Copies of this chain bind each other. A is one copy, B any other.
Amino acid sequence: MAAITKVSPLAPEKFPDLPVINGVRFATAQAGVKYKGRTDVMLAVADTGSTIAGVFTRSATRSAPVLDCQEKIGKSGTGPLAIVVNSGNSNAFTGKHGRASVAAITEAAAKATGADIDRVFTSSTGVIGEPLPHDKIVAVLGDLNTTLDAGGIGAAARAIMTTDTYPKGSTVTVDTADGQIKIAGIAKGSGMIAPDMATMLVYIFTDANIAQADLQAMVSTINDMSFNCITVDSDTSTSDTLLMVATGASGVTVGPSSTEFRSALNALFLDLAHQVVRDGEGASKFVEIRVTGAVTDADAKTHAMAIANSPLIKTAIAGEDPNWGRVVMAIGKSGAAADRDLLSIWFGDILVAENGWRAESYTEDAGASYMKAQDLVIKVDIGLGNGTATVWTCDLTHGYIEINADYRS
């Protein structure tokens, strides 16, 4: 395994101060699933009446914990609600052993917390294809339940890390006529310093009172514009999971028309999603791709993702090369509608290409100078319609190869 020598150059300056979200408490433990000398299990318990929504990987080879969560999300249920997450082993592609591990952990967590088993959700992240030593997790659940702490969310963010180079957290507050709502979230992902640890896990908690169906609709919609708009290397985990819990402890009810809440939640989702990209393996640049003028929004996203996933564009960005010809290539190959002679391309605010050719005002010096920035924006107008999309990615560097190819050398 390659040594983790340093934090991503794109990391935020510090982990944010996450507030207490009334109605949910956290605990962490060193179960020794794989790592030594660090926490690797977190338990979150939310009070009776809390609702939970989730979105999951669309992989056809998704893991046992994901399948179990998907069966449970949307069932009404009462009583407390528990989330158990371990790092070090993803319990993915583990066959019937995987199902047995999920059963053992959820039963033990239900017993420890008093939650109905249909209100216990688990995630696992780490090595794939190895049996999860679930006894180690079961062994610590009783103690975890006795050490639950309303201020424990920061420790939870650290316990779920695999090879992330920094913990990821975000918080927003919403002031409404009925009172203040707090939202806090944590995430892990994209620091695949050791292989097979690609999973993105996200847990978000709010003290708003939100009906499950409303919460699920909001989470699904906002996820499509945030976590589903990031890519590091186009590879999709078998375990991606996002869970959001609303405890209702603030006494403020949020409905489908609460645009303020929705807007704040969107900002939090985006912040966490960007933090995941900024911890992409080997990343040295953070890149926003904005596509406008496509025939549909779906076409715009297809173009944007073709640009974001192109190895030739990602290596050009790593080399600080304003290689707009590769952007033309990516649009051409994406499969979505495009007309070569109607495209316009900008690097930041610099118009690079239009009318089927390099822009007359463009100079290679201006382009090369722009590409030296750490955060970059590539804009493309397709010139055919009103479809838009924005996605985020990072560059493809020697660091990516070192992390993913050299670990045995």
- Smallest Cβ-Cβ distance to A96: which chain B residue: B356
Query: For the complex, is A132 an interface residue (Cβ under 8 Å from B)?
Result: no
A236 to B328, CA, bound (A): 10
A127 to B61, alpha carbons, bound, how many Å?
A: 41
Identity of the chain B residue whose Cβ is nearest the Cβ of A395 in the assembled complex? B405
Interface residue tally on A, bucketed by range: 35 or more
Cross-interface CB contact of A235 among B333, B397, B401, cutoff 8 Å? B333
Q: Which of A196, A333, A401 has the most CB of B within 10 A?
A: A401
Query: Does A358 belong to the interface (CB within 8 Å)?
Result: yes
Known contacts A332-B238, A358-B129: does B61 contact A338 (CB below 8 Å)? yes
Interface locus among A15-23, A200-208, A307-315: A307-315
A191 CB to closest chain B CB (Å) equals 14
Chain A 372-388 per-residue mask, 1 if CB under 8 angstroms from chain B, else 0: 00000000000000000
The complex is assembled from copies of this chain, and their number is 2
**Contact A405/B316 with A62-B340, A96-B356, A357-B129 known, Cβ cut-off 8 Å:** yes
Candidate in A61, A353, A357, A407 with the most chain B CB atoms within 10 angstroms: A61
27 A–B contact pairs at CB < 8 A?
Answer: A59-B329, A60-B332, A60-B333, A60-B339, A61-B328, A61-B338, A61-B343, A62-B340, A92-B328, A93-B356, A127-B325, A128-B329, A195-B323, A195-B325, A234-B310, A234-B311, A235-B329, A236-B329, A238-B328, A238-B332, A311-B396, A311-B404, A315-B400, A316-B405, A319-B406, A395-B405, A398-B401
* Interface residues in chain A, defined as those with a beta carbon under 8 Å from any beta carbon in chain B: 57-62, 92-98, 127-129, 192, 195-196, 198, 233-238, 309-312, 315-316, 318-321, 323-326, 328-334, 336-341, 343, 353, 355-358, 368, 395-398, 400-401, 404-409
